[in-house]
Amino acid sequence: MTMIIDTLKTLFNRDLNRLIAEIELYNNEADIWKVKGQINNSAGHLCLHLVGNLNTYIGKELGHTGYVRNRELEFSSEPIPRQKLIQNVKNTIEIINQTLNNFDKNLLEAEYPMKVLEYKTSTVFFLIHLTTHLSYHLGQINYHRRLIENDGK
């Protein structure tokens, strides 16, 4: 089970650092918050959503950080500076690493403390689900950046 925790940490760190890189790649900071056509979520809002999601389901539920989520604001807040977005992601990396470093590996097979999906899951299943959720939105952000920045070209 230690190998699973190490693997999860590796995946979360890899993809959250890729998220930082994607946000840094926007040539125009304002583009982070743009939407276009049927693309209803900006990269900034998806970034806030990932931070809220991971701080809730890993930080709060497993690390007992006391994080309070406002999911509505993740998709509706006014733009915040790029550096603040990046700092939020860096803070999330720290929370995930602290939580997983101190996590009792024997609890991986236990039921995850919240019913989030339509059905109950083990903690290890839900943590793997969170890695795929992160990866899914990371791909959307990459696509968003290329779509917005190549607009009119």
Q: List the pLDDT tens digit at each of the 153 positions of the chain.
A: 689 999 999 999 999 999 999 999 999 999 999 998 888 999 999 999 999 999 999 999 999 999 999 999 999 999 999 999 999 999 999 999 999 999 999 999 999 999 999 999 999 999 999 999 999 999 999 999 999 988 755
* Partner residues linked to 111 by β-bridges: 122
- Which residues lie closer than 8 Å to 95 by C-beta, 6 or more apart? 54, 55, 58, 59, 63, 65, 67
pLDDT (0 to 100) of residue 88: 98
CATH T-level fold of 2-149: Four Helix Bundle (Hemerythrin (Met), subunit A) (1.20.120)
Domain-wise residue ranges, the chain: 2-149
Answering whether pTM is above 0.85, one says yes
CB atoms within 10 A of CB 125: 16
Q: Which residues of 79-111 are buried (b: 16+ CB within 10 A; e: fewer)?
A: eeebeebbebbeebbebbbebbeebeeeebeee
Predicted pLDDT of residue 36: 87
At residue 152, the pLDDT reads: 52
For position 153, what pLDDT does the model report?
Answer: 55
At residue 39, the pLDDT reads 84
Residue located via tokens 């720290």: 94
Q: What is the pLDDT of residue 149?
A: 87
What was the pLDDT predicted at 122?
Answer: 97
